Amino acid sequence: QVQLVESGGGLVQPGGSLRLSCATSGSISSIYAMGWYRQAPGKQRELVARITRLGSTNYAESVKGRFTISTTNAWNTVYLRMNSLKPEDTAVYYCNADPCSRDVCTHPGYWGQGTQVTVSS
């Protein structure tokens, strides 16, 4: 069992910055990758950023160059640094823990409760 708790969301002006945190607990040693997803009103949940045990990262095209995902060495905290924020970044952001090391893995993973990010003047 893995537990995830997000924090750091809030209201920020366009062009501003924000750092989200995901505190992990439980069987973290079984997790291969951590990711951040977001869901805006009326839209489906989408991948924002992902990092693996090997250190490789993957970003949505819409956030590439603006967002950075990182972890502590023990993977007890996962961060998402968001710079140059835009109104279209407004969404609930969710932390995800993925135990799969292969694309064929069907494990659903683990999810946090989400944290609201609102970008507005």
pLDDT in tens, 34-56: 999 999 999 999 999 999 999 99
CB-CB contact of 2 with 26 (8 Å): yes
Q: Is 10 exposed, middle or buried (0-12, 13-18, 19+ CB in 10 A)?
A: exposed
pLDDT, average across residues 90-116: 92
pLDDT at 102: 82
* Token pair listed for 13: 């002006």
